[in-house]
């Protein structure tokens, strides 16, 4: 088949067909670029809608030129030979617009993506804030620890026996009627006083103070309200920093740099005051046990608070003009923290061992050591609370081994536990059949390695050279057994005197004072005798208070005159034979009563120290040893 020769007419048709396809393609691109509706709308606005729909290619190209340029004034119809150039220019214009459109789309996409990311971050922050507000500082670990603590708090052993046996009303405090009355009267007054409570351990000082406040709340005259607090602290455990970095008693200031205040305060450099126990006790009572063991400087600071009735705080980081400082912190720094309370301090020390400044600000109340009768009452009450039976001898046995109410309760509780153990072992426990025998008490005492508190029991026939003096240690008096023997010296005038090396130098001086009085009264000189004086037990005699007793022991040995064994005496002996006053009269009378003494002789100048309600013992004031001679010798 031969090839046909292409002529000029064929070339023209081909060119026209190509321009037609390119024009249609450009309209299609504009429809995709703008949208068909926007294309028709734009053609209508440019008044070229008729040309765009014309069958004439030149008019359609003219409409295309107006649409792309956006100019309705274009009216030059392109010639056929110009189609290719015009369409090239239109294609370039559309290509540029497509490229611009593509860039815009890409930018919009990135912008939308970034906005979505920011939106997600904002949503996450809001969610975290909501979770934080709902859960606070808690997490899985802290919640687990909280659950463990709550589980432990619901799993408890039975109450301790001491908790059950502790007095729960003032009437249960045995042997301290006078002290409790004095304590209540000072608390319930319209003008309550600061108080120091003296006394041995285990006699009810802390319990009495707590119950006294409960009683005071019921009186109209008292300044204590129904919610008056009772803040208790042990003076031996109070620790503080002289720089006031920490002070649980008086309070301190946490600086934002060194101690670290709360975060919201530390971030703005605001110091945070930490209030102390004295502010917690405002309007009530601050009870400090063992107040005599407090640091002297801390005690002086406490005395300043007692006077000012407030605690002042200071910090170099505090700026009163800082608007970020909370109002309560400004008030504390400007006015101080309130600390208007009544101080009750308990101590086992003697008054002379306490700060004079403290004593001058406080009334003083003395709790007495418990007698065996008191201990027996406490044991009987404790047995009733425990719901047990016991041998009649149990209270008396316990009373021989302690003078502390707390210790008496502890011994009974231990015996109760031992009794229950034995019943469990024998499988004979029956309801209401628990009974504490004397053997249980003795077994507990043996396990605790206790010894009888009173080793000396007086009484019996009169003895020569044996006399009972009186001493005191702390708040407890005791009987001193003094004995003496005398022999004629091997050589007249060469006699020797021996005395305990451990008795003390002042007790030895009493020996020579006694020798002078003996010579003055009888004309006998001790240099004609070998005399041995002994304080049984080798104890140290505190001061010259045993002078009168030493005199009687020596005189009895020299003259071989027996002394009554149910009497005791105390007093310093002068070389004139006068009985001088001594201290600790109340405690010594108590100690004599414990030992079974019937009559106690004390210096006449101490008669105002004799308790008004002494029972079971006779106390006789004396001025001169001659009065003793007439009273204590069995052959008088």
Residue 24, token pair as written in the block: 């249609």
Residue 209 contacts residue 179 (beta carbons within 8 Å): no
What 3 state SS string does 82-134 have? HHHHHHHHHHHHHHHHHHHHHHHHHHHHHHHHHHHHHHHHHHHHHHHHHHHHH
Among the ranges given (30-39, 380-389, 554-563), the one the predictor scored with the smallest mean pLDDT = 30-39
Q: Is 396 helix (H, G, I), strand (E, B) or coil?
A: helix
**Lookup result for tokens 């001058």:** 360
Among the ranges given (171-175, 256-260, 391-395, 469-473), the one the predictor scored with the smallest mean pLDDT: 256-260
Q: For helices 372-386 and 405-426, give the axis angle rounded to 10 degrees.
A: 40
Stated as kind and residue range, the H or E segment containing 469 is strand 466-473
User: Which of 20, 101, 30, 1 has the alpha carbon at shortest distance from 61?
Assistant: 20
Q: Tokens for 193?
A: 């006083």
Best-predicted range by mean pLDDT (85-89, 178-182, 422-426): 178-182
DSSP character at residue 633: B
Q: Which residue has the higher pLDDT, 242 or 373?
A: 373
Q: What is the C-alpha separation between 603 and 569, in angstroms, rounded?
A: 9
Q: Hey, which residues does 504 pair with through a beta bridge? A: none
**Distance of alpha carbon 88 from alpha carbon 444, whole angstroms:** 120
Structure tokens at 6: 């292409």
- Per-chain mean pLDDT for the chain: 82
Please give the full DSSP string across 130-193, using - where no structure is assigned: HHHHHHTT--HHHHHHHHHHHHHHHS-PPPPHHHHHS--SGGG-TT-HHHHHHHHHHHSSSS--
Whether pTM > 0.85 for this model: the answer is no
Sorting pLDDT into bands at 50, 70 and 90, what band is 29? confident
pLDDT in tens, 537-558: 765 566 678 888 999 999 999 9
Which helix (H) or strand (E) segment holds residue 483: the answer is: strand 476-488
Instruction: Say whether 449 sits in a helix, a strand or coil.
Output: coil
- Which pLDDT score, from 0 to 100, does residue 17 have? 60
Structure tokens at 236: 């031996």
Decide if pLDDT at 6 tops 80.
no
Residue 268 has pLDDT above 70, yes or no: no
Q: How confident is the model at residue 4 (pLDDT cuts 50, 70, 90)?
A: very low
* Residue 522 scores a pLDDT above 60: yes
pLDDT score for 11: 38
Answer for the pair 58, 20: CB distance below 8 angstroms, yes or no. no
The strand pairing partners of 499, in sequence order, are 533
Contact 442, 395 (CB under 8 A): no
Structure confidence at residue 97 as a pLDDT band (50, 70, 90): confident
pLDDT of residue 273: 85
Known active-site residue 508:
no
Please give the Cα distance from 45 to 30 (Å, whole number): 16
Token couple for 44: 């209508």
Q: How far is CA 430 from the centre of its chain?
A: 43
Quote the percentage of the chain above a pLDDT of 90: 18
Task: Calculate mean pLDDT across residues 472-479.
Answer: 77
Strand partners, 272: 254
Rounded CA separation 215/228 (Å):
12
Q: What are the structure tokens assigned to 273, written together?
A: 């005051």
Q: What is the pLDDT of residue 14?
A: 45
As a residue count, the chain comes to 636
Q: Which residues contact 375 (CB under 8 A, 6 or more apart)?
A: 395, 398, 399, 402, 403, 405, 408
Residues 208-234 have pLDDT tens digits of 999 989 888 888 888 888 889 999 999
* 545 assigned to active site: yes
> Could you give the CA distance from residue 287 to residue 230 in angstroms, rounded to a whole number?
7
- The residues, ordered by sequence, that sit 6+ positions from 616 with a Cβ below 8 Å of its Cβ are 593
Residue 354: phi and psi, rounded to 5, are: -100, 160
Give Dmax over CA atoms of the chain in angstroms.
186
3-state class of 352 per DSSP? helix
Band (pLDDT 50/70/90 cuts) for residue 264 is low
d(CA 99, CA 114): 22
Mean pLDDT of all residues in 39-54:
82
Answer with the residue of higher pLDDT: 336 or 148: 336
Q: Are 187 and 363 in contact (CB under 8 A)?
A: no
* 482 beta partners: 467, 535
Q: Which residues pair with 435 in a beta bridge?
A: 389
Q: What is the dihedral of CA 127, 142, 258, 266, to 10 degrees?
A: 20
pLDDT of res. 500: 72
Catalytic residue from among 186, 407, 588, 593: 588
Annotated catalytic residue within 410, 545, 556, 580? 545
Question: Residue 3's pLDDT is what?
Answer: 39
pLDDT tens for 116-153 read 888 888 877 777 776 666 555 666 777 777 777 777 76
Q: Considering only CA atoms, which of 408, 405, 401 is closest in space to residue 369? A: 405
Average pLDDT over residues 397-413: 88
Percentage of the chain exceeding pLDDT 70 = 88
pLDDT of 445 higher than 80: yes
Tens of pLDDT, residue by residue over 151-190, are: 776 666 556 667 777 888 888 888 888 888 999 989 888 8
Tokens (6 digits) for 607? 């008669």
Q: How far, CA to CA in Å, does 494 sit from each of 95, 399, 489, 523, 551?
A: 147, 49, 6, 17, 20
Residue-range domains of the chain with CATH: 8-102 (no CATH), 168-366 (3.40.50.300), 372-447 (1.10.8), 463-632 (3.30.230.10)
Residue 623 above 90 pLDDT? Answer: yes
Q: What is the mean pLDDT of residues 371-396?
A: 88
Q: Specify the range with the lowest mean pLDDT, choosing from 253-257, 438-442, 518-522.
A: 253-257
Q: Answer whether 482's CB lies under 8 Å from 468's CB.
A: yes
DSSP string, 543-588: TTTTHHHHHHHHHHHHHT-EE-SSEEE--EEPTTSBEE--S-HHHH
User: What is the Cα–Cα distance from 117 to 113, expressed in whole angstroms?
Assistant: 6
For the cut 60, the answer to whether the pLDDT of residue 463 exceeds it is yes
d(CA 478, CA 579): 20
Nearest C-alpha neighbor of 631 from the set 578, 550, 580, 566? 566
How far apart (Å, rounded) are the C-alpha atoms in residues 302 and 250? 7
Q: Between the CA of residue 517 and those of 484, 497, 547, 633, what are the distances in Å?
A: 16, 16, 11, 17
pLDDT for the residue numbered 402: 86
């Amino acid at each position: 088949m031969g090839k046909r020769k292409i002529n000029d007419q064929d070339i023209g048709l081909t060119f026209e067909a190509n321009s037609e396809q390119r024009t249609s393609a450009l309209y299609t691109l504009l429809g995709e670029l703008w949208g068909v509706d926007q294309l028709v709308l734009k053609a209508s606005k440019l008044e070229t809608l008729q040309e765009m729909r014309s069958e004439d290619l030149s008019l359609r190209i003219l409409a295309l030129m107006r649409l792309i340029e956006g100019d309705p004034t274009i009216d030059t119809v392109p010639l056929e030979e110009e189609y290719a150039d015009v369409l090239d220019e239109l294609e370039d214009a559309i290509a540029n617009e497509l490229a611009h459109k593509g860039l815009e789309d890409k930018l919009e996409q990135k912008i939308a993506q970034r906005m979505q990311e920011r939106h997600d971050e904002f949503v996450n922050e809001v969610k975290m804030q909501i979770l934080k507000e709902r859960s606070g500082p808690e997490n899985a670990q802290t919640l687990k620890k909280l659950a463990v603590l709550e589980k432990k708090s619901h799993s408890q052993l039975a109450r301790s026996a001491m908790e059950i046996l502790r007095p729960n009303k003032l009437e249960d405090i045995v042997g301290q009627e006078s002290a409790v009355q004095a304590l209540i009267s000072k608390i319930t007054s319209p003008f309550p006083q600061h108080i120091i409570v003296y006394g041995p351990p285990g006699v009810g000082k802390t319990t009495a103070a707590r119950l006294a406040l409960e009683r005071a709340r019921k009186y109209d005259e008292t300044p204590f309200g129904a919610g008056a607090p009772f803040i208790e602290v042990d003076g031996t455990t109070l620790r503080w920093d002289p720089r006031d970095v920490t002070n649980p008693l008086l309070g301190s200031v946490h600086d934002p740099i060194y101690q670290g205040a709360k975060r919201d305060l530390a971030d703005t450099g605001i110091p945070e005051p930490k209030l102390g126990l004295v502010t917690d006790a405002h309007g009530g009572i601050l009870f400090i046990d063992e107040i005599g063991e407090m640091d002297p400087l801390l005690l002086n600071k406490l005395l300043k608070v007692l006077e000012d009735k407030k605690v002042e705080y200071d910090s170099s980081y505090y700026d009163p003009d800082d608007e970020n400082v909370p109002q309560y912190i400004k008030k504390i720094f400007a006015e101080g923290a309130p600390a208007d309370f009544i101080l009750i301090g308990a101590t086992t020390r003697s008054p002379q061992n306490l700060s004079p400044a403290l004593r001058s600000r406080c009334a003083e109340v003395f709790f007495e050591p418990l007698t065996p009768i008191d201990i027996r009452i406490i044991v009987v009450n404790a047995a009733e609370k425990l719901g047990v039976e016991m041998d009649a001898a149990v209270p008396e046995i316990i009373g021989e081994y302690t003078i502390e109410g707390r210790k008496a309760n502890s011994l009974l509780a231990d015996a109760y536990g031992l009794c229950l153990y034995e019943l469990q072992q024998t499988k004979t426990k029956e309801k209401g059949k628990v009974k504490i025998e004397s053997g249980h008490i003795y077994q507990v005492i043996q396990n605790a390695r206790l010894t009888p508190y009173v080793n000396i029991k007086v009484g019996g026939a009169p003895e020569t050279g044996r006399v009972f003096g009186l001493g005191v240690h702390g708040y407890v008096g005791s009987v001193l057994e003094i004995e003496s023997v005398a022999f004629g010296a091997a050589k007249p005038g060469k006699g020797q005197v021996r005395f305990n090396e451990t008795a003390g130098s002042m007790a030895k001086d009493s020996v020579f004072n006694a020798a002078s009085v003996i010579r003055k009264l009888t004309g006998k000189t001790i240099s004609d005798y070998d005399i041995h004086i002994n304080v049984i037990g080798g104890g140290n005699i505190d001061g010259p208070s045993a002078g009168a007793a030493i005199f009687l022991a020596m005189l009895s040995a020299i003259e071989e005159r027996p002394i009554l064994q149910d009497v005791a005496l105390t007093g310093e002996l002068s070389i004139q034979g006068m009985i001088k006053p001594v201290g600790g009269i109340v405690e010594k009378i108590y100690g004599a009563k414990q030992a079974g003494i019937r009559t106690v002789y004390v210096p006449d100048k101490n008669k105002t120290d004799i308790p008004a309600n002494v029972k079971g013992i006779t106390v006789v004031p004396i001025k001169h040893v001659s009065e003793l001679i007439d009273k204590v010798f069995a052959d008088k």
